[in-house]
Amino acid sequence: MTTYLIRGARIVDGDPTDLIIRDGVIAETGPNLTGGPGAEVIDADGLVALPGLVDLHTHLREPGREDAETVESGSRAAALGGYTAVCAMANTSPVADTAGVVEQVWRLGRTAGLVDVQPIGAVTVGLGGEQLAELGAMADSAAQVRIFSDDGHCVADPRLMRRALEYVRAFDGVIAQHAEEPRLTDGAQMHEGITSARLGLPGWPAVAEEAIIARDVLLAEHVGARLHVCHVSTAGSVEILRWAKARGIAVTAEVTPHHLLLTDTRADGYDPVFKVNPPLRTGADVDALQAALVDGVIDVVATDHAPHAVQDKECEWPYARPGMLGLETALSVVWLAVGHRLGWDGVAERLSRAPARIAGLTEHGHDPAPGRAATFTLVDPAARWTVDPAGLASRSRNTPYAGLDLPVRVVATFLRGEPTVVDGKAVR
């Protein structure tokens, strides 16, 4: 393996230092280091070294929709975004509801070798919401699944949700809930409010999310199991989570970059690139989500990276699939929305350390330090860049940020001492 000497990076909020990476680990940090003969030198003057980012919520689309994304293309997009691990959602075709499918996804991730791909298992067979999937077999498989989710669908049946929580408690697993009471969102197209009324689109009310979160934190308390709430999108959800955490309930929550920045008024013009589930909400919701991420009621940022093929997205609003790309823009969008309030330490916590803890990914989420695996990303805090959909590594183009000028650029990413991104470009 190549030895690297990284010159003058700030580790999170620290002073500039050199780092030597040898045999996959950080061998040494300090001033004026020499890497020895053959060491490759990377000038990191002005750059910030963060622990490799960890995404709890990625749709890689393989198996089944390789026209929209593959494990490899999604892994490349992730590495370019500064990620070293992503958790792959189970709503593939076939659904990842057996040991066989989760092992397939896990192996595809290992073969691509650009990030660690950690499969999420389905809670119910075929995401059907009727019968528990083989949670134990997925946990015991080579993929060692610890997070289970029917994402895309809500586990709406409270008895099934209770049984799932009871089951995963045995191996410290967690149920990640897509909180959406389906009876309240039948036919919904966007957030229910002033804009939906004006545009004449059926609404997705905030209460459909909040009712499920309230129910599930009570179930988690009753069972004594861990609950994770996917893509929190409303101010009311934040208040329920605040109450649950104050009560000591084992609940964690994520927010997406797009819910931290964009509002439902983007639907004006009916451009389906802004159609997403849960929908973009109001400015007051965005303000509450930002504040909750800063104060820790929301634990992590997760992308909900949801690639879609052109024919599924570039059509009339009602027929378009919900979802947005996220991996390559997440860090920049988070910095734009709340960077000045989070600081680099807050970013490291919300985008790396906390998600790694929740997922049980013990090799990830550690600030670069001697003896640790060299799994980190180097970012340029002074850089600006303009999002060009054609320039993204994802196979899909459905980014809501096309043409937007964003702060912060990922310069390099390392996974166990091997660079996956150098000079802002994927190595393969």
Q: Which is nearer to Zn ion, 47 or 155 (CB)?
A: 155
Integer Cα distance of 99 and 111 in angstroms: 18
Least separation, in Å, of the C-beta of 212 and Zn ion? 12
Contacts of residue 422, defined as CB under 8 A and 6 or more positions apart, other chains included, come to 412
Q: Which is nearer to Zn ion, 151 or 192 (CB)?
A: 151
Q: Which is nearer to Zn ion, 65 or 178 (CB)?
A: 178
Query: CB atoms < 10 A from the CB of 296, how many?
Result: 13
Rg for the chain (alpha carbons), in Å?
21
Where helices occur in 307-353 by DSSP H, the ranges are 310-313, 330-348
Q: What residues pair up with 386 in beta bridges, in sequence order?
A: 405
Integer Cα distance of 89 and 197 in angstroms: 33
User: CA angle, corner 164, sides to 161 and 167, nearest 5?
Assistant: 150
- What six digits make up the tokens of 9? 């990076």
Q: Which is nearer to Zn ion, 178 or 395 (CB)?
A: 178
Least separation, in Å, of the C-beta of 261 and Zn ion? 18
Catalytic residue, from 304, 312, 367, 380: name it. 304
Nearest to 92 by CA among 133, 51, 121, 63: 63
Q: Which is nearer to Zn ion, 22 or 178 (CB)?
A: 178
Cβ(323)–Cβ(398) below 8 Å: yes
Least separation, in Å, of the C-beta of 8 and Zn ion? 41
What is the SS3 string spanning 65-88?
A: CCCCCCHHHHHHHHHHCCEEEEEE
The values of phi and psi at residue 415, to 5°, are -120, 110
Least separation, in Å, of the C-beta of 335 and Zn ion? 24
Where helices occur in 81-147 by DSSP H, the ranges are 99-112, 135-140
Cβ(39)–Cβ(20) below 8 Å: yes
Q: What residues pair up with 177 in beta bridges, in sequence order?
A: 229
Q: Please, what sign has the CA dihedral across residues 61, 51, 178, 120?
A: positive
Least separation, in Å, of the C-beta of 25 and Zn ion? 36
Least separation, in Å, of the C-beta of 210 and Zn ion? 15
Q: Which is nearer to Zn ion, 127 or 408 (CB)?
A: 127
Q: Which residues bind Zn ion (CB under 5 A)?
A: 151, 178
Q: Which is nearer to Zn ion, 178 or 313 (CB)?
A: 178
Cβ(84)–Cβ(49) below 8 Å: no
Least separation, in Å, of the C-beta of 229 and Zn ion? 10
Cβ(75)–Cβ(115) below 8 Å: yes
Q: With 0-12 CB in 10 A as exposed, 13-18 as middle and 19+ as buried, what is 45?
A: exposed
Q: Which is nearer to Zn ion, 56 or 217 (CB)?
A: 56
Residue nearest to Zn ion (CB): 178
Catalytic residue list contains 271: no
Cβ(300)–Cβ(342) below 8 Å: no
Is residue 139 helix, strand or coil? helix
Least separation, in Å, of the C-beta of 272 and Zn ion? 17
Integer Cα distance of 292 and 239 in angstroms: 9
Catalytic residue numbers read 304
